[in-house]
Structure 1
Amino acid sequence: MACLPGGGTGFVGRALTQLLRSHGHEVTHISRQGGKDRISWEELSHSGLPLCDAVVNLAGENVLNPFHRWNDAFCREVISSRVETTKTLAKAIADAEQPLRAWVLITGVGYYRPSPTVEYTEDSPGGDFDFFSHLVSSWEAAALTPGSPARGVVVRSDLAGIVCHALENEHLQGILNGVAPSSPYTSNGTFAQELAAALGRPALLPVPAWAVRAVFGAERAVMLLEGQRVVPKHTLESGYHFIFPDLSGALKDIVA
């Protein structure tokens, strides 16, 4: 199968690329610049969809990047990076001479990165894991209070695995929630304690909500201070078997 992922050079995209190629699939990325095994978004807009069997869109500006102030300009960039790329791909797919076997859209991912320090680059954007692990690895506060929410957790290998699973099973349709089956009710406090245990360090003091709002801005802080109880019902029913179904095992593997 020939697959064309948008945003395939990013953090999740690199894992998906490696997995797809290990399964014998061909991968051509869509990125800002063209090159070997990749085409640019501008080239896609002008020349249309190259010959392929499946398209995935992983593109999107990192919402939680604290080096960008949450203002109208950045908000528009966040929306545009997702909406416009999806529109570009949808048009290219509609105009393509050969129908696709699969079209997968990834949206709303807050992923955890295996790094004990905060680092933000175009190819390896940060996420919740950066924020918590930086605090814990510095022997500082970890558990967010008040209002520690229920949140879902999924590691990069499982997220890539779910996408690959969807691409290789043509009968699948609808939404596949990318969250580990035993983690939908994980609170920030529990996450911090589990992470501290995996790192072999204490989680002593709570991070006050005002500090999170100060770093990320009021609107973005909602993603860390509030949560949703998401379950992977359809994902499990589709036949996908999670590599890391629980938080403890996932964090131990990541920090290892």
Structure 2
Amino acid sequence: MEASRIAVAGASGLIGAALVRSLTADGHEVVRLVRRTPRAKDEVEWDPERQYVDAAGLTGCDAVVNLAGAGVGDRRWTDAYKRKIRDSRLLGTAALAEAAASLSPLPRVFVNGSAIGFYGETGERAVDENSPPGDGFLPSMCVEWEEAAAPAEEAGVRTVFARTGLVVSAKGGAWGRLFPLFKAGLGGRLGDGRQYWSYITLHDEVAALRHLLDTESLSGPFNLTAPQPLTNREITAAMGRVLHRPTLFAVPAPALRLALGEMAGDVLGSQRVLPTRLLESGFSFAFPGIEDAIRAAARG
């Protein structure tokens, strides 16, 4: 993509901040959506809960990227927090999609965040973008999340859904909590360790988002996960090898359920997700293997 004006919601998050750095380094003009009065010329105000976007500030944007949403793993899933997880995604997506649809000229692309939570529990069964949604809170939320982008799609804006897996990073997210434990020699499998984890490095996540932004022929859902999902047991062993630490500890499933409540199902659940459409589109992973992924994350 030639130097463009690109709006990013969720620009302060783990993925959003890395994407902004990448785009800016390549000469793109990035407009960051903020939930306060703008303090810089590259900021535009929005309020997802009120479904408000200062659409005038998005004028001239070639692309809109929505990565905003309350952290799924930030706290225990009370009914109130589940509403926050859902509303922060659905209301924000609807507001941005409507703002994008109102622009003249229209943006060329709307990239909306989503998650492999779309597929729910898959056990040992591999799934890809052709697979139906699963059952439960996260799958139903992901379906609604993607449907909320309809105004942009119906207006003729190329719309892409980035179904992201577990991001391997020492800087944040679920994996960011694992690194200190493993470095202290306190790492270990979760439950029986047989559940599949579908992961992607932060580097490849950003590269994949850039690929989706740049490739005019791509629309619809794309799984942003490395080509070979592994079990929690295999990933635990790889963390130990790369960080040169023992992995003797294990957290029993009942203890996780007691500590995390309903969210434990997401930790103990198995999701064997393949990036079929991403690979078919010509994307190449820099860190497809888990040990290289962990080393890349450890280097920052």
What is the aligned counterpart of 1:193 among 237, 241, 250?
Answer: 237
| C-alpha contact (below 8 Å) 1:132/1:192 kept by paired residues | no
User: For structure 1, which runs of at least 5 residues remain unmatched after alignment?
Assistant: 116-125
Q: Deviations over 1:200-230 (max 9, x none)?
A: 101012211122223322x211111012111
Shift of 1:177: 0.9
Shift of 1:97: 1.9
| C-alpha contact (below 8 Å) 1:64/1:216 kept by paired residues | no
Percent identity among equivalent residues?
33
Q: Secondary structure at the match of 2:186?
A: coil
**Within 5 A, what are the aligned runs for 1:106-255?**
106-108=113-115, 109=164, 110-115=166-171, 126-146=172-192, 148-181=194-227, 183-184=228-229, 186-217=230-261, 219-255=262-298
1:52 and 2:75 are equivalent in the alignment:
no
User: For structure 2, which runs of at least 5 residues remain unmatched after alignment?
Assistant: 116-163
CA distance in 2 between partners of 1:42 and 1:22 (Å): 28
| C-alpha contact (below 8 Å) 1:141/1:207 kept by paired residues | no
| C-alpha contact (below 8 Å) 2:193/2:233 kept by paired residues | no
Shift of 1:46: 5.4
Q: Segments of 4+ in structure 1 off by > 4 A?
A: none
Equivalenced residues, count: 241
Query: Match for residue 32 of structure 1?
Result: 35
Aligned-partner residue type, residue 31 of structure 1? V
What is the aligned counterpart of 1:19 among 4, 17, 22?
Answer: 22
CA distance in 1 between partners of 2:114 and 2:80 (Å): 21
> Structure 1 130/209 Cα, relative in aligned 2: closer, same or farther at 3 Å?
farther
Q: Secondary structure at the match of 1:30?
A: strand
| C-alpha contact (below 8 Å) 2:53/2:96 kept by paired residues | no
CA distance in 1 between partners of 2:21 and 2:54 (Å): 27
CA distance in 1 between partners of 2:47 and 2:295 (Å): 41
What is the aligned counterpart of 1:5 among 5, 8, 14?
Answer: 8
Alpha-carbon RMSD across the aligned residues, in angstroms, is 1.8
TM (norm. structure 1) is 0.88
Query: Match for residue 93 of structure 2?
Result: 86
